[in-house]
Amino acid sequence: MVVCNEQINKLIHKICQKKYLFMLQKYIITFCLLSHINYAQELFFSLGKNYTKFKYTNSNGQTLSELETGTGLFSEFGLAYILNDAENIYYTGSLNYNQYNSKAYINDRRYEWETSYLGIKNTLSLKLFETRTSFSTKICLGFNLSHIIAGKQTNNGEIYKITANKEFKGIFLQPLTGVEFNYEINSDIYVSCGYYYSYSMNLNTSIEKLYFSTNQVQIGIHFKPK
């Protein structure tokens, strides 16, 4: 009985440590974000839609050709920094939420995959030109690192969780490129609309491989703190 109590105490201690570390990580991330807001030239929030097609390769090297494009939501909050005196090169760091979905008809059965990923995006942007009427255009290049937070597969009405599946979990690396059009409302606020293309690949060592090819359209609002 004493041994059991000691084991229970050790287990509780480990759980408390994990909870403490998790809370500490959240506080550190929050502190870093808040401390950098004062130095950022822009704060922004974006919403949009993803048009995603899965590319899946099984353990035998065979691909699933029946996969079709699915749609999902996108949202993002981030900070932007001007990198040069000409004020036409920007670095952007953001926290984003993406839904990557797909569907397929295989042997008269309907399959659907719905996934949600949380990620951190790093982007460099170059302002190409700016007109006197407050319009400007940027081209963007960067990458996103993301991890699944929710996911399910529907097979003719039967639902299965897929967050633990090797091909979906782990870190996804997502190179991306895009173009953004901006309109300045006043000296403190401007709005944007943009298009991005990205290709996500799983960095784990699973024999089964999954890739996301995504076309994304988005709109955003940007604030320039003083």
pTM beyond 0.85, yes or no = no
Same-domain pairing of 216 and 121: yes
Same-domain pairing of 103 and 196: yes
- Alpha carbon of 50 to those of 76, 81, 149, 211: distances in Å? 13, 26, 17, 14
Buried b (16+ CB within 10 A) or exposed e, 26-50: eeeeeeeeeeeeeebebebebebeb
Same-domain pairing of 33 and 81: no
Same-domain pairing of 79 and 21: no
Same-domain pairing of 10 and 74: no
Same-domain pairing of 179 and 139: yes
> How far is the C-alpha of 138 from the C-alpha of 41, rounded, in Å?
16
Same-domain pairing of 58 and 9: no
Q: Say which residue the tokens 């982007």 belong to.
A: 123
Same-domain pairing of 175 and 75: yes
Q: How many residues does the chain have?
A: 226
| pLDDT, average across residues 196-223 | 92
Same-domain pairing of 18 and 53: no
- Write down the pLDDT at residue 2: 40
When divided into structural domains, the chain yields a total of 2
User: In degrees to the nearest 10, what's the CA dihedral of 86, 89, 91, 92?
Assistant: 110
CATH number at residue 112: 2.40.160
SS3 at position 18: helix
Lowest mean pLDDT among 33-37, 154-158, 198-202: 33-37
Q: Say which residue the tokens 């995504």 belong to.
A: 214
pLDDT tens per residue across span 21-76: 455 555 455 545 554 555 678 999 999 999 999 998 877 777 878 889 999 999 99
pLDDT tens per residue across span 81-112: 999 988 889 999 999 999 999 998 888 888 89
**CA nearest neighbour of 134 among 93, 80, 189:** 189
**CA nearest neighbour of 210 among 97, 115, 106:** 115
Same-domain pairing of 4 and 18: yes
Same-domain pairing of 64 and 6: no
- Structural domain containing residue 175: 41-223
Same-domain pairing of 140 and 154: yes
- Write down the pLDDT at residue 37: 57
